[in-house]
Amino acid sequence: MDALQELEHRGRVVLVTGAAGGIGAAIAERYAADGAAVGLVDFDSTAGQALAKRLGAAGHHVCFVKADVASFVECDAACSVIEKMLGPVDTLVNNAGISPKHAGKPVPIWRMEPAEWHRVIDVNLHSVFNYVRRLAPGMVDRRFGRILSMSSVAGKAYLDIVAAHYSTTKAAVIGMTRHLAGELGPYGITVNALAPGRIDTPMVAGAPREANEAVVGVTPLRRLGKPTEVADACLFLSSPRSDFITGQVIDVAGGWLMT
């Protein structure tokens, strides 16, 4: 079998949100390397354009669109550009997310600004609605789709290193994943979520060193995860090897919590 035939996502069109950095950039790179055309969405246009340029120079079919995932209007426009440039999107990865900290620490609920609560819900949860609402009709029409969303182990267990808004959204993503798997399954669409543990990205680099060391100490594999390890789980969940898997939450956490 020649190398090209082994690419499982050849001919596929993937849209990744929060694709400019961290886990999202690793996901975009892995899909591109596996033969997919990849639409990158992020509100950081400097990093997003740089990644698109680098992947394009390597011969991959990618395009970057700047958008705030919290806005349905911007989501609609971004999806239209990507569909025009790359074709109908068959694989959606809802990856963008934020976990605001104050001096490296999560703010307790009794001191949380309402604006911060609402912003986290908008970015981490309403974004999933926005992109699924925009792209699911095409998937339903074509009777095929793969939808992946980034939850977190914080959506399944109490962690004192994140704030209430973050864990609330990550738990909601799990509920939404199961509901959508039920609704969309009859149309050939699978819907799954990833629950990363502590992954070495800019989001985690912002936390105090002791906080990361404490997690490593209780993680059976005794290290932080790599963005590429989350990306590999995404590729599996949209590949033909997982065609009968839907409504699941896959931990990529080195055994941390085992929720």
Among 12, 134, 146, 198, binds ligand NAD (CB under 6 A): 198
Nearer to ligand NAD, 99 or 190 (CB): 99
d(CA 187, CA 169): 26
Does position 43 bind ligand NAD by CB under 6 A?
A: yes
Does position 106 bind ligand NAD by CB under 6 A?
A: no
Among 85, 203, 214, 216, binds ligand NAD (CB under 6 A): 203
Nearer to ligand NAD, 70 or 181 (CB): 70
Does position 24 bind ligand NAD by CB under 6 A?
A: yes
Does position 42 bind ligand NAD by CB under 6 A?
A: yes
Does position 68 bind ligand NAD by CB under 6 A?
A: yes
Does position 97 bind ligand NAD by CB under 6 A?
A: yes
Give the sign of the dihedral formed by CA 232, CA 127, CA 258, CA 254: positive
**Catalytic machinery residues:** 166
Does position 162 bind ligand NAD by CB under 6 A?
A: no
Does position 93 bind ligand NAD by CB under 6 A?
A: no
Q: Are 249 and 177 in contact (CB under 8 A)?
A: yes
Q: One symbol per residue from 136 to 155: x for binding ligand NAD (CB under 6 A), - otherwise; what is it?
A: --------------x-x---
The residues binding ligand NAD (CB under 6 A) are: 18, 20-24, 42-44, 68-70, 95-99, 123, 150, 152, 196, 198-199, 201-204
